[in-house]
């Protein structure tokens, strides 16, 4: 199994594309495009099946990480803004990115309207040979994500050594 992409709801597509490309370094595969409710095309029928009739359309953009994972951004025309993390909801509540430019990404997240949700944490603060760091961040729309300084495998395979 390989990861293909994640879909993220945003409140302003132009601001989202700027944030995800300039703060996080993702590349644009397909820029902002409008999708309308219609039954003539396969994408139109798929969107009705997913969002229901009367969804009023949305803007979409497709971005990609340096290792090929897609980020599909959605800006719905008819939406209610959310400014908090709903931990009572079952399902995915964050995604995680990995970077060698850990502090630089954190600075750019704040520069482009995101938030740092916690202090940077080291998994093994007593062991300088394991400098693995993590932090939870938010995009400008309140979507929670985690940032790792090292790979998932490195971080957790040595967790219990």
Looking at the chain, the number of H-run helices and the number of E-run strands are 4, 9
**For residue 72, with 0-12 CB atoms within 10 Å meaning exposed, 13-18 middle and 19 or more buried, which class applies?**
middle
pLDDT number for residue 155: 79
pLDDT number for residue 43: 77
Tell the residue number behind the tokens 């980020």, with chain if given: 71
Domains of the chain and any CATH numbers? 1-81 (3.10.180.10), 83-161 (3.10.180.10)
pLDDT number for residue 81: 44
Tell the residue number behind the tokens 């400014």, with chain if given: 83
10-residue block means of pLDDT along the chain (161 residues)? 88 96 97 90 80 84 95 81 56 88 97 94 83 92 92 72 48
In whole angstroms, what is the distance from residue 151 CA to residue 96 CA? 10
E strand spans, the chain:
5-9, 27-35, 58-64, 70-76, 95-98, 115-116, 121-122, 133-138, 144-148
pLDDT number for residue 16: 96
- H or E segment to which residue 56 belongs: none
∠ CA 50-95-31, rounded to 5°: 60
pTM equals 0.80
pLDDT number for residue 86: 62
């Amino acid at each position: 199994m390989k990861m293909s992409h994640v879909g993220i709801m945003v409140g302003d597509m132009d601001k989202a594309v700027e944030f995800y490309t300039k703060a996080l370094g993702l590349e644009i595969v397909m820029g902002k495009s409008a999708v309308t409710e219609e039954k003539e095309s396969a994408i139109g029928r798929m969107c009705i099946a997913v969002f229901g009739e009367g969804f009023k359309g949305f803007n979409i953009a497709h971005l990609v990480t340096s290792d090929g994972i897609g980020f599909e951004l959605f800006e719905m025309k008819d939406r209610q803004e959310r400014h908090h993390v709903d931990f009572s909801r079952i399902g995915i509540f964050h995604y995680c990115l990995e970077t060698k430019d850990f502090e630089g990404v954190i600075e750019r997240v704040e520069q482009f309207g995101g938030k740092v949700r916690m202090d940077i944490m080291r998994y093994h603060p007593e062991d300088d040979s394991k400098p693995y760091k993590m932090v939870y961040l938010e995009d400008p729309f309140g979507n929670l994500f985690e940032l790792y300084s090292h790979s998932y495998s490195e971080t957790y395979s040595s967790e219990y050594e």
